[in-house]
Amino acid sequence: MTALELAMYELGRLFLMPVLVLILLLFAYAFYALGAFAMDAWQRRRGRQHCPLRAHQAAHGPADSEELELLILRRLEPLRVVSRTAPMLGLVATMIPLGPALLALGDGDLATVGEQLVVAFAAVILALITASITFWVLTVRRRWLLSALKSLEQQEARA
C-alpha cells in the first residue's frame, strides 16, 4: 500500500470504536424511548394522558399554532435524528471491519475474517433495530401530537 492508502486505512480504523460506542448508546436510547412510549400509551388507554402542548400553554400562556408546531418538532427531533443516523452508523461499522477481513482473507487467515465479520454484522443489526424502534415511536408520537394540536386549535376556534 502507498503511504496515502495506509494513512486512510488507519484513519478509518480509528473510527470503529467510537462508532460502536455510539451504536450502543443509540440502542440504549431506543429502548428508553420505547419504554417512555409504552408508559404514554398505557396512560392514554386509561384516559390519563399528559398533553405536552396543554402543559406548554399552561406554563407559558397561549401559543399560536406555529409555536406549538415548533414544540412538536423539538420534542420529536431526538427520535428523528436517531432513526436516520443509526443506519448510517451501522453501515460505517460494517464497512470498517471489512478492510481487515479482506486483508486476512488474502493471507488465508479465516479466523480473523470470521471475527471481523461478526463485529460488522452485529453492529449493523443493532443499528437497524435501533432505527426501527425509534422510527416507529416517532411516527406514532407525531400522530398523537398533531392530533393534540388539532384538538387545541378546534377548542380555540370554538371559544
Which residues, including other chains, have CB under 8 Å from residue 7's CB and lie 6 or more apart?
none
| Residues making up the chain, counted from first to last | 159
Residue the block writes with cell 437497524: 128
- Which amino acid, 72? I
Q: Give the SS3 label for residue 56.
A: helix
In a domain, 62, yes or no: no
pLDDT of residue 39: 93
Tens of pLDDT, residue by residue, the chain (159 residues): 789 888 888 888 899 999 999 999 999 999 999 999 999 999 988 887 777 888 888 888 787 888 889 999 999 999 999 999 999 999 999 999 888 888 888 888 888 888 888 989 999 999 999 999 999 999 999 999 999 899 888 887 786
- Which DSSP category does 47 fall into? T
pLDDT of residue 61: 79
Residue 53 CA to residue 67 CA, distance in Å, equals 10
In a domain, 125, yes or no: yes
In a domain, 66, yes or no: no
Q: Which domain holds residue 24?
A: 3-35+76-158
pLDDT of residue 124: 95
In a domain, 89, yes or no: yes
Residue 1 CA to residue 7 CA, distance in Å, equals 10
pLDDT of residue 126: 97
pLDDT of residue 65: 83
- Total structural domains within the chain: 1
Residue 157 CA to residue 57 CA, distance in Å, equals 16
- If phi > 0 it is left, if psi is from -120 to 50 it is alpha, else beta; for residue 51 that is beta
In a domain, 40, yes or no: no
In a domain, 84, yes or no: yes
pLDDT of residue 112: 84
